[in-house]
Amino acid sequence: MLNYDFTPLSRSFIGFDRMASLIDNAAKLNGTGSYPPYNIAQISDDEYLIELAVAGFGDADLSIETHESVLTIVGTKAANENSSEPDVEYLPNKYLHRGIAERGFERRFQLADHVTVTGADLVNGMLRIELRRELPEAMKPRTISIGGKHDGNLTERKSSGKRKAA
């Protein structure tokens, strides 16, 4: 893995420290593996969906939390599978082939500013996490009419006509 030193950039750019840390975190998270597999879909301009294939995990085995724009999904399997799966009719004594992963996992996603989790469902082994971007009212674009009456909040500058030489 390559490591990049962004120190020279941080000396000359002000306010870009978050971007440098995002790049650094992305490089660290790249080596997390591919389990469990996931999809990220854009439903509309402001709605997203993350789907994780978590076969064998129940609601009690999964936890979802957000902290400082990082979405973390953790899956833990109970040590005694007999107690966590009461509806299974049989449990084999030995497996001839075991291809279904039953190990725990932790998957992290870096969320953009103003993106929040709005819901989560577990259906047929697929964990679906719904996300929505909600811009604050102050950040939404607004249209300013030209030539309309002003409300008196604007002040006019009166020039004295005299200028000082520099």
Full-model pTM: 0.59
41-55, 58-72, 81-95, 141-155 — which is least confidently predicted? 81-95
What residues pair up with 128 in beta bridges, in sequence order? 51, 121
Instruction: Please tell me the total number of residues recorded for the chain in this structure.
Output: 166
Report the candidate in 74, 73, 66 with the shortest Cα–Cα distance to residue 117: 66
Q: What's residue 120's pLDDT?
A: 95
Q: Is the pLDDT reported for residue 9 higher than 60? A: no
Average pLDDT on 113-129 reads 93
Give the number of other CB atoms < 10 A from CB of residue 113: 10
Q: What's residue 83's pLDDT?
A: 45
